Each structure stands twice: as C-alpha cells, then as structure tokens.
C-alpha cells in the first residue's frame, strides 16, 4: 500500500471516530438536557405557581365573563404577566386585556426576552427602584398591591380617633417580599411622621437576589447543602436546613421586651402579639366600643371580636361580621400589622423594617390603648 493510500485510510478512520464521538457526545448532552428539563418540570409542578386548583387562579371562575380583571391579571395569569412586560407585543408597563382564568404562572411568563430585559420595578407606592436585574420578574408581583399611599388618602384630614365610616381594612396584599425587603426605599409600609426607617436589606455579598435563596422553579427556600452551604454557614453556623432559618439571631436584642433575646423570627412574632393587643384595646375605647380583631386565614381578615376576648374564632371570622369602624389611627396600625403578617418571610427579608413599623404603631395607639412601648426596643 502506497503512502497516499495509507494517509487516506488514516484520515477516514479518524473521521469515522470523530463522527462516533460527536454522536455519543450529542446524545449525552441531549439526555442531560432532557433530564434537566424533566427535573425542572417536576419542581414547577409542585410549586404554588403551577397550582391550577388554587384560589389564586380560580377566584374569578363564577364571574361573567369568567376572566381575570386587568388590575389582577399581571400576577394571577401568565397571559396577564406577558401583557404587562410586553411579551405579547403590547405596550410594556400596563395590562391592556383581561387575563385567562386557570392560567397559572408557567414557563413563558418568566422565560421571554421582555422578561429577561426587566431591570426596574415600580411599587404600589409609586416608587421606582432600578438595577433590579434578575430579581425583577419576582419583584414585579411580590411588591404587593396596596400601599401607604392608600392609607394616607383614606385618612387625610380626618380626626385621628373618630371612625371614618364604613371603612374596610387596607392591606398590601400577599407575600409582598419585595416590598418588605425594600424597606423605606420602597415606601410601602405606613411610616409615621418624624420617624426614620431602614432602607433595602442587602443581606450579605453573594446572597442578594431572589433566586440565590429560592429555587426559581419549586419556589422553596434552598436547602443550604444544595445552594452553597458556605453562603449561609459563614455567618450562621447553626443552620443546616431551611427550617432553621427561623432560629437565626444576629442582633442579640430583646426587641419585644419579653425578657429573652430570641431569633429575629421570634422577636417579630412577639411584637405582632403586642400590636394586636394594642389595636384590640384601642378599638374598645373609641367610637361605640366595638372591638377589632384580626384573623389571617379568612378574608377580609378584620372582624368584630363579639365576645371581646382579644382573639377571633372561626365562628366570628365571617364576612357579615367584618370590622369596618376604623379610625385613621387604627387603620394605619392595622395596615402595618397586615403588611407584616401577610409576608411570612419578613424576618429574613427585612426584619428591622417591620419591627420599626410595629413599634411605631404601638406607640401611636398607646395613649388610648394602654399598651405602651415600655421595655420594647426600636431597631
């Protein structure tokens, strides 16, 4: 065999081997991609974003027509979110059309060019925060709906301790993690005149975006061992699982005045109890003495405490028994209470901000309620 034939044969063998290697590599990559997509899909299917049976995506089923109103569609339907970001070809920044019912937050809500290009968020307070990067999509819906601006409008020019008249509670909506994290920079809590408040909680380098701590598909807080344990354990050596986040105590301050230095979660829980007591006792001493109570599991959350025992039972938590005798002073405090209660992650997202809001609410009610800030500490 001459040299040319040997060279040709060698090249042919090499080419064949290369084709086999490329084919195997492509198959492996495809299998990996399929496995990845399957894993992501499984995570998403178990998340609140995918729960097609939840009230979140079915509240309007009995309406005529059965559709999600534009004011709600942005966060309660994929079609509405795509409308808001302009992924459907419409103008960005507003929702033009009603959303579809039973249209949970699916892949195309977050995975579009328009969504990826988001880099700012405007909160219900009207405040815009820029440079929000990869957290923008999350913050768009987790900024809430109501704001301190709504409270100010409802109470403007009215005597502080006289019932406004058929006034329902005002809330920031649910899971407003972005609004809480932004603190005073977002302007969503009701901030009392003459007081100063903390701004955005930046946590620590490396843990400053939503998806650093939350899996973007399952939405669960990441287990430390699956998210880079060192990020948590550098400062929180006691944390070995996400359930232990509630045990973290960095400030070592007894904010709620119970004589024990507890975790931020427990300090907030203690302050919530005191604020609820203050609101209940205040309400019993103004107007006709009808007592206010809060029950977070049943809409509209504020109810008449008919037996005046300081707590709302299931029997009292009925729509006809809702409390609508708010004075301006009570409405402000109730807004801050609900702002905290309806954001279960407040202790991580910006614990000091919600403690400041509740402390100031207790203080504002104290002259009439009798529940004072003596022994409490304001961050």
pLDDT at 21: 47
Give the percent of the chain with pLDDT over 70.
88
In sequence order, the β-bridge partners of residue 214 are 221
pLDDT at 27: 40
Q: Is the pLDDT of residue 362 over 80?
A: yes
Q: Is the pLDDT of residue 11 over 60?
A: no
- C-alpha distances (whole Å) from 219 to each of 33, 57, 223 are 21, 17, 12
Mean pLDDT, the chain, integer? 89
Between CA 77 and CA 71 the distance in angstroms is 11
Q: Is the pLDDT of residue 266 over 70?
A: yes
φ/ψ of residue 304, rounded to 5: -80, 125
Largest CA distance in the chain: 112
Q: What is the four-CA torsion angle of 244, 245, 250, 256, rounded to 10 degrees?
A: -90
Q: Is the pLDDT of residue 31 over 50?
A: no
Residue closest to 44 by CA, chosen among 107, 134, 127: 107
How many C-beta neighbours within 10 Å does residue 234 have?
Answer: 13
Angle value at C-alpha 130, between 126 and 131, nearest 5 degrees: 160
User: 271 or 43, which is more confident?
Assistant: 271
* H helix runs in 257-350, sequence order: 264-283, 328-341, 346-349
Between CA 356 and CA 228 the distance in angstroms is 32
Digit-coded pLDDT (tens) for 294-334 = 999 999 999 999 999 999 999 999 999 999 999 999 999 99
Q: Which residue has the tokens 């492509």?
A: 26
Digit-coded pLDDT (tens) for 224-264 = 555 554 567 778 877 777 678 888 887 889 999 999 999 99
pLDDT at 4: 57
How many C-beta neighbours within 10 Å does residue 205 have?
Answer: 8
CB 234 within 8 A of CB 252: no
Least confident window among 55-69, 234-248, 280-294: 234-248
**What is the average pLDDT across 40-63?**
93
User: 153 or 37, which is more confident?
Assistant: 153
Q: Is the pLDDT of residue 29 over 80?
A: no
The structure tokens listed for 268 are 């907030």
CB 355 within 8 A of CB 255: yes
What residues contact 370, with CB distance under 8 A and at least 6 apart? 281
User: 72 or 17, which is more confident?
Assistant: 72
Between CA 264 and CA 260 the distance in angstroms is 12
Element (H, E) at 117: none
How many C-beta neighbours within 10 Å does residue 280 have?
Answer: 21
Q: Is the pLDDT of residue 356 over 90?
A: yes
CA 108 vs. chain centroid, Å, equals 21
Beta strands in 25-140 (DSSP E): 120-122, 128-130
Least confident window among 83-87, 207-211, 259-263, 368-372: 207-211
How many separate helices (H) and strands (E) can be counted in the chain? 15, 4
């Amino acid at each position: 065999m001459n040299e040319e034939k040997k060279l040709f044969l060698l090249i042919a063998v090499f080419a064949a081997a290369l084709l086999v290697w490329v084919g195997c590599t492509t198959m492996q990559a495809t299998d990996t991609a399929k496995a990845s997509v399957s894993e992501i899909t499984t995570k998403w299917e178990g998340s609140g974003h995918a729960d097609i049976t939840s009230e979140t995506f079915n509240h309007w089923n009995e309406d005529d027509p059965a559709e999600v109103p534009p004011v709600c569609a942005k966060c309660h339907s994929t079609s509405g979110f795509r409308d808001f970001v302009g992924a459907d070809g419409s103008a960005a920044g507003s929702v033009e059309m009603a959303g579809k019912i039973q249209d949970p937050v699916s892949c195309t809500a977050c995975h579009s060019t328009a969504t990826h290009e988001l880099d700012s968020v405007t909160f219900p307070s009207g405040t815009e925060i820029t440079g929000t990067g990869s957290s923008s999509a999350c913050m768009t819906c987790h900024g809430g709906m109501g704001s301190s601006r709504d409270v100010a409008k409802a109470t403007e020019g009215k005597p502080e301790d006289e019932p406004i008249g058929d006034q329902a509670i005002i809330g920031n909506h649910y899971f407003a993690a972005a609004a809480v994290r932004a603190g005073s920079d977002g302007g969503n809590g009701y901030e009392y005149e003459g007081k100063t408040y903390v701004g955005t909680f930046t946590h620590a380098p490396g843990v400053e975006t939503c998806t650093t701590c939350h899996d973007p598909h399952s939405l669960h807080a990441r287990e430390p061992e699956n998210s880079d344990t060192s990020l948590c354990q550098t400062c929180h050596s006691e944390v070995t699982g996400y359930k232990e986040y509630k045990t973290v105590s960095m400030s070592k301050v007894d904010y709620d005045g119970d004589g024990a230095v507890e975790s931020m979660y427990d300090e907030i829980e203690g302050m919530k109890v005191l604020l609820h007591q203050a609101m209940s006792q205040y309400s019993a001493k103004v107007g006709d003495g009808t007592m206010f109570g809060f029950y977070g599991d049943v809409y509209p959350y504020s109810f008449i405490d008919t037996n005046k025992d300081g707590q709302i039972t299931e029997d009292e938590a009925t729509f006809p028994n809702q409390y609508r005798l708010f004075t301006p002073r009570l409405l402000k405090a109730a807004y801050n209470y609900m702002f905290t209660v309806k954001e279960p992650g407040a202790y991580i997202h910006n614990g000091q901000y919600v403690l400041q809001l509740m402390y100031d609410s207790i203080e504002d009610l104290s002259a009439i309620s009798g529940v004072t800030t003596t022994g409490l500490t304001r961050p």
